[in-house]
Amino acid sequence: MSDVVGIGIDIVEIERIKKAISKNPRFLERIFTKRERDYFEHKKFSPATIAGNFAAKEAVVKALGTGIRDISFAEIEILRDAFGKPIVTVGGRLESICQAKGIGDIQISISHSKYYAVANAIATNRGD
């Protein structure tokens, strides 16, 4: 059985993300992986979808207890499975941090309303 190592939650104003995209054309490239951007394109670059992924990345770093200072948001990839469920993949330094902490899985949930996107992440150990 796996034990919970950490939980994280984040809420983002969708309008804030919309403004960031319009002010800085490189915002999407700096924060999101190519596969995430491809997903956004499929969703017609919906600000709510993008804000949800942004909140998910923040929730993941909170669940891992790392903060964002030593890693890049691009090391966290939030995609969807065949049923639309959000899934988390980590790479780079963050993958090493997860291995060192014994984290084997990160579950994520994303939701949004007209004005806000929220995400919750739960990191569990490998169940050794």
Q: How far apart, in whole angstroms, are the C-alpha atoms of residue 20 and residue 35?
A: 20
The owner of tokens 């700096």 is: 30
Q: Tell me if 38 is assigned to a ligand binding site.
A: no
Q: Is 81 annotated as a binding residue?
A: no
Cα torsion angle, 41, 123, 67, 100, sign: negative
| The one-letter amino acid at 66 | T
Residue whose pair of structure tokens reads 């924060």 in the numeric block = 31
Q: Which residues are annotated as a binding site for Mg(2+)?
A: 10, 58
Q: Which residues are annotated as a binding site?
A: 10, 58
